[in-house]
Chains A and B, each alone.
Chain A
Amino acid sequence: MSVFLLQRLGQALVAIFGVMTLVFFIQRLTGDPTYLLVPETATQADIEAMRRSLGLDQPLVVQYLNYLWDMLRFDFGTSYVQNVPVTQIIASRLPYTLQLAAGALFVAFVIGLPVGLAMAIWRKHRFTNVLMGIVLGAQSMPTFWSGILMIMVFGVWLGWLPPSGSGSFAHLVMPSIALGLLSMATYARIARSSILDEMSKDYVRSARARGVGTGRLVGKHLIRNSLIPVISISALEISQLLAGAVIVETVFAWPGLGQLTVQSVQSRDFVVVQGIVLLGAFVTISVNLLADILYGVVDPRIRKGGKA
């Protein structure tokens, strides 16, 4: 177990280091990143001063090492547009994105898992095809379109929910559904195939032969045993949600990290964009690591050997 864990931890650290390096090189795709960092009104003298103050007149290797050192101290720089440390800007927006992600995950779980279970148990039923159609539709639905449609119907025509903004629980409902629909479809499909897989195994047949009813079979055996694919998908879904938040937050004017990303790109506040990308990668890597650890908890077979 501990060898496996250490190995995974090492891989995660390598990945984080790689991401920081990649972001550093993306910055330099155009040559001189000073132009990314100065506001549009800057004069040539401003640019020169900025270049020197950032150490961009030094050799690339020195710049790279400086950058890594900053990152290790969690110093993500200061926004030149707002003149506030990036960590502070991100921290002020993070709670909103966390609320939205939690709402979306809730929608995805509460709808997706039962739908997947139903599709697996009543596999031959005609209604299952309708469900599958809805799931496939949800998967192909662009979040910005479903978001706008919801605003139109529930926000404008029916007036049930506030069309955009934040401040109350009601504000959170539509963005959560828009963001959660895609993950809902994924959960439903994964749950379906994983439960179907389990249902074809011998232990299910013998449990049935012993006279175990469907309800008990599902509750005691199937759900627990089909959890592994669901967990590994959750790791993927959480980073998907972070990415999806960029668009959903723009549609609903939700003041989280996604909206911050778009605003920062528009105001050419590159340091903030960079901070968000690093945070996104860090979350993705940690969540994947966590999922691998959780497998071991759920499934003792993995704890003993290498990979399943």
Chain B
Amino acid sequence: MIALTATWRRMFRPQAGGGVPVGVFVTILAMMVIVAILAPLIAPYDPNTQNLLGRLKPPGTEARGTYYLLGSDELGRDLLSRVIYGARVSLSVAVLSVILSGAVGITLGMLAGYRGGWVEVVVMRLVDIFLSIPAILLAIIMVAVLGPGFVNVVLVLALTRWPRYARVAYGQTLAVSNQPYVRLAKAMGAGPFRVLFLHILPNILAPLAVVATLEFGLMVLFEAGLSFLGLGVQPPTASWGAMLSVGRNYVSTAWWIATFPGLCLFLLVLSVNLIGDRLSAYLNPKSR
């Protein structure tokens, strides 16, 4: 408990030179997670209820018994409720795709580094090939084949991004696999999976955590981008990217539709990126 409060206090300590303390961003992220989980309790209205007499109402107006705090969209749906539900899509797609691509990438990368030989050649060449196609193009061609939708977006993002983890896990595994503790574990008869997951993985987790944090921000942006292009989560599900795309069409008449989801997206990605930045500086004292 004491250690926890100490960490907490350290997070809010003013940064040298007057930067914003990282605790602020941790708080923003935590609040978004809470809002996403409790969306049905927090949202004032159902995100998909249309109200054709309350279309494109500016923030703070009332129409037919509905009070639009952040305004309404082109179908008269409450923008605040949709923004709140949108957090669910953004966060769940990002969490699932990071877990999936991380699991695949880390396993393959560790195997390549530990086993060497043809496993190394095959995995690392695959990594090179995947990384030489611009990520969003790779995602688009896969969505074009598989079709859009929540599950496919997660799968596509995982398939597109695993090489990033594989490359880091590979390099780190190479670096530690000759350490005495690994050789000792092998000498005592530990099988390859025991060595990889019980002895090597815990020791290479730090740099992987940094990659995962930065990838998390990227996954939020990718989901929003795909949904913006109409290739992600499909309507009527509220997704910030899809809301921005509607806002783009009403840019001259209803500024609020694009502004609020965009702001949430920006704050989420900014928080995650800054946390990742500080994490990497903390774990890697040389760069400080």
Contact = CB atoms under 8 A, between A and B. Distances in A.
Interface of A: 11, 14-15, 18-19, 21-23, 26-27, 29-30, 36, 124, 126, 128-129, 132-133, 136-137, 139-142, 144-145, 148-149, 151-152, 155-156, 163, 193, 239-240, 242-244, 246-247, 250-251, 261-262, 265-266, 268, 270, 273-274, 276-277, 280-281, 284-285, 288
A247 B132 contact: no
Contacts of A126: 17-18
Contacts of B259: 149, 152
B62 interface: no
Contacts, number: 153
B258 interface: yes
B159 to A, nearest CB: 9
B266 interface: yes
Interface in B1-58: 17-20
Question: Chain B: interface secondary structure?
Answer: helix
B153 interface: no
Given A129-B19, A281-B133, 17 more contacts: A14-B125, A21-B129, A129-B18, A132-B19, A140-B269, A148-B258, A148-B262, A149-B258, A242-B137, A246-B140, A247-B225, A250-B229, A261-B137, A262-B230, A273-B144, A284-B134, A288-B132
B136 A246 contact: yes
A284 B230 contact: no
A247 B17 contact: no
A133 B19 contact: yes
Interface of B: 17-20, 125-126, 128-130, 132-138, 140-146, 217, 221, 224-225, 228-231, 241, 244-245, 247-248, 251-252, 255, 258-259, 262-263, 265-266, 269-270, 273-274, 277, 287
Which of A15, A140, A266 has the most chain B CB within a 10 Å cutoff?
A140
Given A133-B20, A142-B225, A152-B255, A29 B146 contact: yes
Question: Chain A: interface secondary structure?
Answer: helix
B56 to A, nearest CB: 15
Which of A19, A36, A163 has the most chain B CB within a 10 Å cutoff?
A19
A273 B133 contact: no
Contact of B133 (A22, A151, A156, A244): A22
A296 B217 CA distance: 35
A137 B231 CA distance: 26
Nearest to B144: A265
Smallest CB-CB A-B distances: 3 pairs = A145-B262, A18-B129, A243-B134
Contact of A280 (B137, B143, B252): B137
